Amino acid sequence: MERNSDRKIKYLTQEEAKNLFSAITSLNSIHAVRDLAIFRIAYRCGLRASEIGLIKLEDYNASKGELYCKRLKGSSNNTIRLDSKTKNALDKYISESAPLFNSEILFKSQKDKPISRQTLDYLMKKYCSYANVHDKSKHHFHSIKHTTAVHLAESDMDIKELQWWLGHKSVTNTEIYFQFTTRQQEKMYSKLEEKSEMV
């Protein structure tokens, strides 16, 4: 049986993630403001494509800059404080789109329904291509959730903190993100060099 630790997860490097966000803004498409808000929220909160479609206007506390995240697949709901870039992107989208809100759903399709996983996968492929993310196995929206998790693990967030952030009920699901990435390996070797305890 395949264990979590045996799975090869696909995530964007820090540079690829920056290029992805740059691609969304530089393309200046008709949905650029909406798309930037979607991708920023997905990255900040570690949301699945299907969870993006669940977000309602009432889930966002603009004064506190917090978003209530409803999670699926047995994960726990939580409230995440947005960083300034994500808050600005969401505030701009809401401000510019306010007259279009005929329902509580925040991100909708042209048919006035919650934006679909298929649409988000299409957008991911589109922006990854413009961002020169060459590994096409990363061209799926779910890579955003993995990217969030790995970047947070690399930022020295401990496993219990990351478990809460991602809404995992079992820490086993979080362990996969603490496999040795290049940055984590470099930290490990630096510690050994500092200690110089090995003969």
What is the DSSP track for 122-186? HHHHHHHHHTT---GGG-STHHHHHHHHHHHHHTT--HHHHHHHHT-SSTHHHHGGGS--HHHHH
pLDDT greater than 60 at residue 44: yes
pLDDT greater than 50 at residue 4: no
| Separation CA 127–CA 112 (nearest Å) | 23
Which helix (DSSP H) or strand (DSSP E) does residue 38 occupy? helix 32-45
Count the neighbouring beta carbons within 10 Å of the beta carbon of residue 31: 15
pLDDT greater than 90 at residue 119: yes
Predicted confidence band of residue 136 (pLDDT cuts 50, 70, 90): very high
| Separation CA 84–CA 57 (nearest Å) | 18
pLDDT at 116: 95
Q: Nearest-5° angle of CA 178, CA 132, CA 6?
A: 25
DSSP symbol at 58: G
Q: Tokens 């699945």 — which residue? A: 48
Query: What are the phi and psi torsion angles at 78 (to 5°)?
Result: -155, 170
Architecture in CATH for domain 10-195: Orthogonal Bundle (1.10)
DSSP symbol at 111: T
pTM of the model: 0.87
At 186, list the tokens: 């470099």
pLDDT at 199: 56
Q: What is the mean pLDDT of the chain?
A: 88
Predicted confidence band of residue 150 (pLDDT cuts 50, 70, 90): very high
